[in-house]
Amino acid sequence: MPYVTVGKENSGNIDLYYEDHGTGQPVILIHGWPLSGRSWEKQTDALLGAGYRVITYDRRGFGESSKPTFGYDYDTMADDLHKLVTKLDLHDFALVGFSMGGGEVARYLGKYGTKGVSKAVFISSIPPFLLKTADNPVGVDASIFDGIKKAIVADRPAFLMAFLSNFYNVDVLKGTRISDEVVRLSWNIASGASPKGTLDCVSAWLIDFRKDLARITVPTLVIHGDADRILPIDATGKRTQELVKGSKLVVLKDGPHGVLWTHADQVSRELIGFLKRKN
């Protein structure tokens, strides 16, 4: 199993698990909270079939990666991504982030610039700024995030099941676009994540990415479902498209948060079509 070492905690290394398959232009897929690189199952298959080199990795604390007690902030996570890019000596690569992974895309480009990056994609992503403040009145009140933290501490497994029900809009899409088995698979992955990392990432959601987005100069695609209950499109996807000059927004009708599975064919089609375009 391939790993990249990104730090140390006491006597042990902090290692990120990654997978690197195929040939052609590299595409890095960055997963959302509280899942892992396995959530890209449908898109990985489609991208490999289209002739791309596909790289997935598990964020620190999640999936098969090490589970340290620190580092669940976007500056550190962007640094982790940069260490993976450096280890693999990647050039002309696309960055694709889902949900929380969109934050890594934004912060990486804001911090390291666009050198070596060909394109950027935000799918159901967290930018530009979730927290309600005086200059961000469309954001979410801080008390909501405090409630999420309390629920995680009180009963993390129960919270995750409720979260995933809204992640996939199970009450509407069950039996057509989502199955109990897929939800169970997602819960199994999520429940195996670091409890500390699961909790600490909630604070990272409140980061302001507006300056990061303004620095993006590569072609950018935003994909978002119009029925997203986790990150509603009006507060996230639409605003991200407005802040990234020249970017394109694709709205998935009746798409929940978890469109990587429920609307997999549409997501893959839009993603591959965008990657194939010359500009």
Cα dihedral 138, 139, 142, 145 in deg (nearest 10): 130
First to last CA, the chain: 35
- Is there a contact between 128 and 243 (Cβ–Cβ < 8 Å)? yes
> What does the alpha-carbon distance between residue 8 and residue 12 come to, in Å, rounded to a whole number?
6
Tally Cβ neighbours within 10 Å of residue 121. 28
**Cis upstream peptide for 195 (omega within 30°):** no
In eight-state DSSP terms, residue 244 is S
Spatial CB neighbours of 202, under 8 Å, sequence gap ≥ 6: 145, 148, 149, 152
Active site residues: 99, 228, 257
Write out the two tokens for 186: 């997602």
Give the residue ranges of DSSP H helices in 100-179: 101-112, 142-167, 170-173
CB-CB contact of 4 with 87 (8 Å): yes
Structure-token pair, residue 159: 């919270």
CA angle 56, 60, 61 (to 5 degrees): 120
| Distance of alpha carbon 204 from alpha carbon 69, whole angstroms | 14
Strands ordered across the beta sheet of 220-225: 3-9, 12-21, 53-57, 26-30, 93-98, 117-123, 220-225, 248-252
Q: Is 94 helix (H, G, I), strand (E, B) or coil?
A: strand
